[in-house]
């Protein structure tokens, strides 16, 4: 008998544009009809294996499975698993895939979730691997953009902060570059510029227009979306560099004075200092809504990967 092919989500490119549009449609339907979905995963178990800290991704995955009527198990730090005794990720996955129907895993090493797929009997979802990818954050970001702007085409998107280590930025650029007439304003200090491989493989290859600048206010009047990011302390080799760069950008009301009235300000969170709290009550601040949308898009993704109709 032919082995059933398991569907994983490791990179946002694992999903076609059509599939992303379908997930967003389902997530919007879940938002409007929560009860209709509340028992669809009865009897199913999600494992959340987090080898790195998380608030939103882990808890929104767990909330998503519980809101679908399923159950969850897992760990939130490697020190509370047998990895601390020297067990490999591969062995951990081989075992946990016998305890669960789907696994969401976060790991500091780039490529670890891809390795996990070779040992797993159930779908693997990359919940963030090092400075590489974070595809479910991208789905969350796309749902937010769709709900706030009503479209993915014809947008000028400012990405600000740590564009080097910010995995959410790499995944979002990859995903939204597939739509029409997207322009990027890449705002970062010299040391935290977008990696060359993202520019070459995504932006240049697809003839996407982009401008690089250090100044957050220079193009603020042109932006439809401003996506702020945290300087990723955990990826720095040198603490002095982190301290020098961590407060390079602090968005506040004053800096927004020339921004469009319908600008959508996003941030994958956690925020440290890069958005002043005086922006929180501005109608253009979307980052807490964005965090909530993460639950509904993850519900849609779980249903898709488990092939629940
Ligand atoms: N956005 C995000 O990945 O947040 P957490 O690190 O809290 O999961």
Among 51, 53, 56, say which to mutate for ligand 1: greatest number of ligand atoms within 8 Å of CB.
Answer: 56
Q: Does residue 225 sit in the same domain as residue 261?
A: yes
Distance 202 CA to ligand 1 centre (A): 24
- Show the domain range for 238: 136-291
pLDDT along the chain (309 residues), means of 10: 84 96 98 98 98 96 98 94 92 97 96 96 96 93 98 98 91 95 97 95 96 98 97 80 87 98 97 96 98 98 96
Same domain, 149 and 90: no
Q: Which atom of ligand 1 is nearest to the CA of 291?
A: 1
> What are the residues facing 241 on neighbouring strands?
none
Residue 5 falls within a domain, yes or no?
no
55 with 177, same domain?
Answer: no
**Within a domain: residue 3?**
no
**DSSP label of 194:** P
* pLDDT per residue as tens digits for the range 127-137: 999 888 899 99
* pLDDT tens digit sequence for 157-182: 999 999 998 889 999 999 999 999 99
User: Do both 81 and 172 map to the same domain?
Assistant: no
- Strands 225-228 and 124-129, by their bridges, are unpaired
**228: buried, middle or exposed (CB in 10 Å: 19+, 13-18, 0-12)?**
buried
What is residue 232's predicted lDDT score, i.e. its pLDDT? 81
71 and 91 belong to one structural domain? yes
**pLDDT (tens digit, 9 = 90+) per residue, 219-251?**
999 999 999 999 987 777 788 888 888 888 999
Residue 150 Cα to ligand 1 midpoint, Å, equals 25
Say how many Å lie between the CA of residue 234 and the centre of ligand 1. 13
Q: Do 172 and 276 sit in the same domain of this protein?
A: yes
Pocket of ligand 1 (CB under 6 A): 54-57, 128, 137, 268-270
Given ligand 1 and candidates 61, 107, 128, which is best to mutate, with the most ligand atoms within 8 Å of its CB?
128
Residues 17 and 61 in one domain: yes
* CATH code, 31: 3.40.50.1370
Question: Which pLDDT score, from 0 to 100, does residue 101 have?
Answer: 98
The answer to whether residue 250 sits within a structural domain is: yes
Number of domains present in the structure of the chain = 2
213 and 69 together in one domain = no
Domain membership flag for residue 223? yes
Tokens of 56: 């939103």
H-helix segments, the chain: 17-32, 56-67, 89-96, 112-117, 135-149, 167-176, 196-198, 239-245, 287-305
| CA pair distance 247, 234, nearest whole angstrom | 15
The length of the chain, given as a count of residues: 309
């Amino acid at each position: 008998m032919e082995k059933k092919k398991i569907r994983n989500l490791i990179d946002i490119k694992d999903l076609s544009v059509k599939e992303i549009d379908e997930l967003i449609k389902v997530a919007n339907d879940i938002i409007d009809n929560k009860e209709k979905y509340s028992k669809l995963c009865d009897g199913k178990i999600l494992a959340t294996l987090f080898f790195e800290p998380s608030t939103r991704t882990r808890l929104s995955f767990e909330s998503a499975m519980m809101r679908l009527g399923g159950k969850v198990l897992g760990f939130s730090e490697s020190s509370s698993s047998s990895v601390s005794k020297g067990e490999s990720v591969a062995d951990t996955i081989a075992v946990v895939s016998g305890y669960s129907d789907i696994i969401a895993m976060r790991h500091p090493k780039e490529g670890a979730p891809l390795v996990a797929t070779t040992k797993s009997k159930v779908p693997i979802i990359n919940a963030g691997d090092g400075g590489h990818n974070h595809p479910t954050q991208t789905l969350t970001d796309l749902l937010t953009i769709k709900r706030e702007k009503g479209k993915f085409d014809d947008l000028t998107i400012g990405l600000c902060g740590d564009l080097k280590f910010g995995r959410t930025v790499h995944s979002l650029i990859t995903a939204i570059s597939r739509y029409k007439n997207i322009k990027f304003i890449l705002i970062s200090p010299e040391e935290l510029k977008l990696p060359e491989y993202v520019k070459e493989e995504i932006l240049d290859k697809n003839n996407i227009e982009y401008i690089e600048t250090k100044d957050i206010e220079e193009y603020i009047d042109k932006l439809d979306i401003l996506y702020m990011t945290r300087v990723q302390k955990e990826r720095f080799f040198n603490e002095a560099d982190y301290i020098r760069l961590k407060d390079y950008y602090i968005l506040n009301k004053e800096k927004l004075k020339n921004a469009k009235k319908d600008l959508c300000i996003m941030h994958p969170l956690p925020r440290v200092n890069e958005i002043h709290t005086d922006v929180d009550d501005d109608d253009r601040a979307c980052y807490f809504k964005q965090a909530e949308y993460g639950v509904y898009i993850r519900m849609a993704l779980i249903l898709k990967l488990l092939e629940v109709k």
